[in-house]
Amino acid sequence: MIFYLLNHVENAESLLIISTCNVNFFGRGERDYVEKMGARARRAGILDTLRVEKSVRTESLAERFNVSAMTIHRDLAELEASGKLNRVWGGARSVDSDFIERDVAIRRTTNKEIKTALAKEVRSLVEPGEIIALDDSTTAEACLRSLLETKPAGVITHSLHIMQEVSKVAPEVTLTGVGGRYVAATDSFLGNSSVRALESLNATVSIVSTTCITKAGLCHPDEDAAVTKTAFLELGARRILVSDSSKFANSGMHFVAKLTDFDHIVMDMNTTEEQRQQLESSGAQLHWVETPKPEPTVPTPFLLS
């Protein structure tokens, strides 16, 4: 099934495509909509396709977006010039990089036992009747069921999965779903449209996770994901970081937040002395959870090729 949301950004009409399953084609009715979309939205759609499929052919993109092959050639040239893809004979492929996050379907099955243990600790930090802002991390997803036991006054999220879960499990809870550009690889809405939608919202507590922890703080491999995560963090009067210790080994080029921005940090005990000292120097209240050592959460470069 495919849903369409029309969004006006900088006076240019763009079409946001929200896929609830793995769809690799458009029917005739969908093409009528796609034909109206501008270059900006079409190129965003190309990048979303690459995030999932890793490589695409010019002819299939032309059919998918109902434009000429020459139009797609121009799109690919523009995207390559900005460093967002590599053109190859007959199409394009995603940029090989250390800064690529695993697909959400893989992340949901990784370190599930650890996420469950961390979620129990997060639950103890939330009072009944709070307004909870949750980011699109699979760690935040793991916290959801226990957080709903606190009978929150509201939940704010940009994760499509969390929206669906809240509406199904706790329909009595006021749910605010933040839209924008849907990205299938993260099953969430990301980017400036999402950030602008948050400007009129407020939460008593923000709960976020991260892809990577560096000496600078939290980082992310994707720029749109980073700015959206930062905006969700800023919603809460209290801010909770929940993460497993494997994130210290990851890389991300886009800054999200400093560790000093958090009131609470929930993490497993499998850290080095240096990592522990870094967390202690943040000034946040630390909550250590005893768990097995987490598996790595981002593929090594040779697995990405």
pLDDT at 28 over 60: no
The per-residue pLDDT for range 275-286, each reduced to its tens digit, is 999 999 999 999
3-state SS, residue 55:
strand
Residue 272: exposure state from Cβ atoms within 10 A (0-12, 13-18, ≥19) = exposed
Query: Taking the mean position of all CA atoms in its chain, how far away is CA 6?
Result: 21
At 157-205, the pLDDT tens digits run: 999 999 999 999 999 999 999 999 998 888 999 999 999 999 999 999 9
Looking at residue 159, what is its pLDDT? 97
DSSP 76-122: HHHHHHTTS-EEETTEEEPPP-S--PPPHHHHTTSSHHHHHHHHHHH
Cross-strand pairs, 285: 264
> How many angstroms separate the CA atoms of 288 and 293, rounded?
13
pLDDT of the residue at 82: 78
State the Cα–Cα distance between residues 155 and 165, nearest whole angstrom: 11
